Amino acid sequence: MPSQQTNHSGNGPIRNPRQLLSAGMLGFILPILSIIGLASYVASGHKTSPGSSDMERSVNARIQKVGRVELKDANRPLSSGEQVFRAQCAACHGSGALGAPKLGDNQAWEPRLKSGYEGLLQSALRGKNAMSAQGGGAFSDLEIGRAVVYMANKAGAGFSEPKAPQPAQ
């Protein structure tokens, strides 16, 4: 087998040491200048002016804690079932939105009343179907229970309204 020889004539774009030095410098300096330019362009778009609080608010919204603690006045008077219904429940149970049984619709409430007060209360506190959980919101569990009794009694149930626990003495 005959040996193959590579003929390299040396006729490339760089013909002398000066061109080699220039190409080497451009190959090093041009990328560095490009990186510096891009970094300054990106950084300039995120600077806030001294009076701007929009950026501050958006940063605070992104880094807020997952949980929070709310203090409620334990000595406030408890709301009645009707008050809770009007404030919390009427949006869906007043109009029948999302399949919610309407207030006073005995036929729609009949199968639900079979689960009893405790079953209805747990459905209200934990949520069921399209209804979100009502426990832990603006009203106490006792007040939600009063609203459950109010709605169930309007549909023919005979539940008694839950009483507030007596304060420890």
What local confidence, expressed as pLDDT, does residue 36 receive?
93
In which region does residue 82 sit, left (phi positive, over 0), alpha (psi from -120 to 50) or beta (all else)? alpha
What's the pLDDT tens digit per position in 115-131? 888 888 888 888 888 88
Alpha-carbon distances, residue 93 vs 52, 102, 122, 163 (angstroms): 44, 5, 17, 24
How many Cβ atoms from other residues are within 10 Å of residue 143's Cβ? 22
Nearest to 139 by CA among 57, 50, 54, 79: 79
- For 63-82, what is the mean pLDDT? 77
Q: Could you tell me the domains of the chain?
A: 81-154 (1.10.760.10)
pLDDT surpasses 80 at 107: yes
Look at residue 65 and tell me whether its pLDDT is greater than 80. Answer: no
For the segment 140-162, the average pLDDT, to the nearest whole number, is 86
Percentage above 90 pLDDT, the chain: 5
Q: Is the pLDDT of residue 91 over 80?
A: yes
What average pLDDT score do residues 60-75 get?
74
Q: With bands split at pLDDT 50, 70 and 90, how would you rate the model's confidence at 35?
A: very high
* This prediction's pTM: 0.56
